[in-house]
Amino acid sequence: MKYALFLGCAIPIKYPGFEAATRRVCERLGIELVDMPFACCPPPTSLKMVHHDSWLALAALNLCRAEEAGLDLLTLCSGCVNTLKEANHTLKKSDSKRRKINRILEDQNHHYKGTIEVTHILDVLYQDSVVEKLIKEMSLELPMKIGCHYGCHYFRPPKIMYPDELSDSESYVPVKMDHLLSIIGMEPTEYSRKFLCCGSPLGANADQDAGYAIVKEKLGHIRERHIDALSVICPSCFEQFDMGQIALSRKFKDQSKIPIFYLTQLVGLSMGMTPKEVGLDVHRVKSKKLLESIGIS
């Protein structure tokens, strides 16, 4: 199993622990990650709304590089997978768009053909063959109540992101992270407004206070269910909850905080990796007490 690894912009700069955890987990599970000179995805907001063809061409450039290597593209970010999947879908379906974008790519000596697929680390880890290997590699369970936050871009719009998994009513509710975490001994726990946006796009583009108000609302629902920690699959969502709790604690004088984990950090812990090896030492909201309560130091 081999993929072109698309790290995106935020993870290498802000959250190298996500990358380290993912590389360690994939190595143990026999998933080969190939580094390539990718550019910004670019994000499914901002540029896309200003100049769609420029957004599409930049995404196509990344797709071309994976195509030229003959590898499907693996992302660690909900925004990246959304952009690259949508661009791939658009260019495969539209002859006119494909011709137009290929004229733009000529200057870079690239030509989009539509020969690869785009996937997210969650979908790779959830494959039956990978789950079998994960069970064999596990050295401990993580007995805690966990909430899952999928984010907006991971599965919306379903007709593009997961067309093969739509029901007869054309609805799609993601459950893969919940199921995967239950395999490593966690107790996925439902909470109100689970699929509400984290507030990151609102905070970054318009009103930071309004963005953090969404964090406050979601955390309130999570606390009501006595959830120990939150698992995410997107660096922007992670930052919104991690930094957001620090900002909210200063504003409202609330010292109680819920640790936030990136998915592969939890998988790595279940394989016996140390908190430092998966990058937990640099999180703003510390998880030391929680981990010590389940025997991880």
> What DSSP element (H or E) covers 156?
none
pLDDT at 252: 86
CA dist 236 and 151 (Å) reads 9
Residues 204-248 pLDDT 10s: 667 888 899 999 999 999 999 999 999 999 999 999 999 999 999
Residues 189-201 pLDDT 10s: 999 999 999 998 7
pLDDT over threshold 80, residue 171: no
pLDDT over threshold 70, residue 16: yes
Q: Which domains are present in the chain?
A: 2-121 (1.20.1050.140), 139-293 (3.40.50.11810)
pLDDT over threshold 90, residue 53: yes
CA dist 129 and 183 (Å) reads 14
Residues 70-84 pLDDT 10s: 999 999 999 999 999
Taking the CA of residue 287 as centre, how many other CA atoms within 13 Å lie in the half-sphere pointing to its CB? 29
CA dist 121 and 32 (Å) reads 12
> Taking the model in full, what pTM does it have?
0.96
Give the number of other Cβ atoms within 10 Å of residue 16's Cβ. Answer: 13
